[in-house]
Amino acid sequence: MKQILSFLIFLCLLAYITKPAYAASGTMSISPNTGSYNTGSSFSVDLVIDGKGDSFNAAEATVKVSSNTQINNLVLGDCGFSFVKTPTSTDPSFTGVILGGSTTKCTAYALILTPLSPGSATITLTKAGIKKYGNATELLGTTQNALYTITGEGASSSNRTPSAISPQITLAQTNPENYTLSLTALTSDNTPIGNAMVNIDNNANSSQVNQLKAETDTNGQATIHNIGPGVHTVKVEKDGKQVSQTILNFTGTNPVLTLGVKEQKQPANWTIIIIVGILIFILAVLLLLRSGFLKAIKHAA
Amino acid sequence: MSSIYVNNSASGIVYPTNTSWQIPVTLIVGANTFTIYGKDSLGNQSPSTLTTINRNRLGDIDGNNLIDLTDISLFATDWLKTSGFNYALSNMNGDSIVDLTDFSIIAKQYGQ
């Protein structure tokens, strides 16, 4: 018996000593990462960040889309990132952080792509990282690039339906003095939100004086010019209710930032729920008192 | 003790009281190490004390002289806190709240 016990202890010690060192297992991937698409036909892919059970609050990647594929739009996902490096249709590379929170898995953004010529189209992720919430240890284990087959069976260039094209941009040698935001507001099921107000707040590091705003058109699009460089809070409101709030950093040599935002789920306002509950309770008690219910119970007792 | 030596020099040291001394120094970014000892009127030297003061660049929360994803990840854990910071350097402008101004600062420094 003693020998068996010793053997078991030995096995436990062996298992402990030889256990594999903690390896980062988080992933950053494009989904779907394979498929066959026709030239001229748009399709959507997501950039998904997965901590594989670990909470993270920051991620970044240099994202390159092959030149035979056009990015029609970039719509921010459900990570709730504030961006140090803001991803745009022109450059989808990003550095984002969840301020005061974390998640275990989320979609950074969706890319709406249109293949331009037959062959292979790729999306590659490099210089990527995912940081664990709390101590910022690296969680990223693998990145998964995308490789698509593009066939020429789609609409020909002569009868192709025109798609939204990002403004032609001439890269300046230095950072521009002011930026333009070309924003599309969408519901959670990608319906454009028209007549919504887009507000850009000042920040302490910006020389900008006035709050900038614009109203979205029927396509959910609004363009705001003369945005000072630096960090700004971009709010979208519809009928007095907030649709989304995103912190973006306007920086870099590209003067136009083109991206989309989706309607964010509003958290339950527990204060109002509790107050309403208390009021309903008081009202119920008053009604009972008025009906003499309590008096009857007392009399019966 | 009649005199204090910092890095083998008594130059620039002032004595506000009988039991205190001061020396203005310029800190470089990174670790600043000072060897301090005293001597009495007979020239007898006390044991040396080694003191290190770290000076971080603005936004360099973890002190590795880079402002990168690690720093914004650490910074974000203190978002909107007014006390009890996980990382004291998150409050970059020293106004006692970690807010958008601090985020602006670290965003501007990012990658440098």
Mean pLDDT of chain B: 93
Burial A223-238 (b: 16+ CB within 10 A, else e): ebeebbbbbbbbbbbb
Per-residue pLDDT of chain A (301 residues; tens, 9 = 90+): 566 656 556 554 545 444 445 578 999 999 999 999 999 899 999 999 999 999 999 999 999 999 999 999 999 999 999 999 999 999 999 999 999 999 999 999 999 999 999 999 999 999 999 999 999 999 999 999 999 999 986 544 444 444 444 444 444 446 778 899 999 999 988 899 999 999 998 655 555 556 789 999 999 999 999 898 888 999 999 998 999 999 999 988 888 899 999 887 655 566 677 777 788 888 887 887 777 765 666 666 5
Question: CB atoms < 10 A from the CB of A105, how many?
Answer: 17
pLDDT in tens, B64-96: 999 999 999 999 999 999 999 999 999 999 898
Helices (H) and strands (E) in chain B, counts: 2, 5
> Domain segments of chain B: what residues?
3-55, 69-109
Sole residue written with tokens 């664990």:
A132
Please tell me the predicted confidence (pLDDT) of residue B59. Answer: 93
The complex scores an ipTM of 0.78
Q: Which of A82, A131, A205 sits opposite B73 (nearest CB)?
A: A131
Q: What is the mean pLDDT of residues B96-111?
A: 91
Residue A280: what pLDDT? 83
Backbone angles phi, psi at A14, to 5 degrees: -65, -45
Backbone φ, ψ for residue B90 (5° rounding) = -65, -30
pTM: 0.76
* DSSP character at residue A170: P
CA dihedral angle for residue A177, residue A207, residue A198, residue A266, rounded to 10 degrees: 120
CB B92 within 8 A of CB B105: yes
Q: Is the pLDDT at B106 greater than 50, yes or no?
A: yes
Instruction: Tell whether the torsion through CA atoms of B50, B55, B60 and B65 is positive or negative.
Output: negative
Tell me whether A136 touches chain B (CB under 8 Å).
Answer: yes
The HSE-up count of residue B100 (CA atoms within 13 Å, CB side) is 16
Among the partner-chain residues A95, A100, A206, the one whose CB lies closest to the CB of B80 is: A100
SS3 B95: coil
> From CA A160, how far away is CA B5, in angstroms rounded?
81
**If you search the block for the tokens 């907030």, which residue do you land on?**
A242
Using CB atoms, which residue from A84, A135, A205 is nearest to B72? A84
Q: Any idea which residue has 């941009």 for tokens?
A: A169
All structural domains of chain A with their residue ranges: 26-151, 179-262
Task: Say if the Cβ atoms of B70 and A131 lie within 8 Å.
Answer: yes
Nearest to A204 among B62, B73, B104 (CB): B104
Fold equal for A26-151 and A179-262: yes
pLDDT given at position A63: 97
Report how far residue A91's alpha carbon sits from residue A131's, in angstroms, rounded to the nearest whole number: 22
Spell out the SS3 assignment of A263-278: CCCCCCCHHHHHHHHH
Q: Distance between CA atoms of A206 and A232, rounded to whole angstroms?
A: 9
Complete DSSP assignment for A176-245: -SSEEEEEEEE-TTS-B--S-EEEE---TT----SPEEEE--TTSEEEEEEEPSEEEEEEEEETTEEEEE
d(CA A126, CA A111): 17
Give the whole-angstrom CA distance, residue A237 versus residue A235. 6
Decide which of 1.10.1740.10, 3.30.70.100, 3.40.50.2020, 2.60.40.680 is the CATH code for A26-151.
2.60.40.680
Chain B partners of A233 at a C-beta cutoff of 8 Å?
100
At A165 the pLDDT is 44
Q: In the numeric block, which tokens belong to residue B24?
A: 């203005």
Mutate which of A55, A86, A93, A99 to test chain B, going by most B C-beta atoms within 10 A? Answer: A99
Which of these, A40, A65, A249, lies nearest to A156 by C-alpha position?
Answer: A40
**Is the Cβ pair A247, B108 closer than 8 Å?**
no
Chain A residues inside the 8 Å CB shell of B71: 136
What pLDDT does B68 receive?
95
Query: Does the CB of A222 have a partner CB in chain B at under 8 Å?
Result: no
What per-residue confidence (pLDDT) applies to B12?
94
Tell me if chain B has a CB within 8 Å of the CB of A128: no
Q: How many CB pairs under 8 A join A and B?
A: 74
Work out whether strand A256-262 and strand A179-186 pair parallel, antiparallel, or are unpaired. parallel
Cβ separation of B107 and A204 shorter than 8 Å? Answer: no
Least CB-CB distance to A97: which of B62, B72, B105? B72
CATH no. of A179-262: 2.60.40.10
Per CB-CB distance under 8 Å, the chain B contacts of A56 are 73
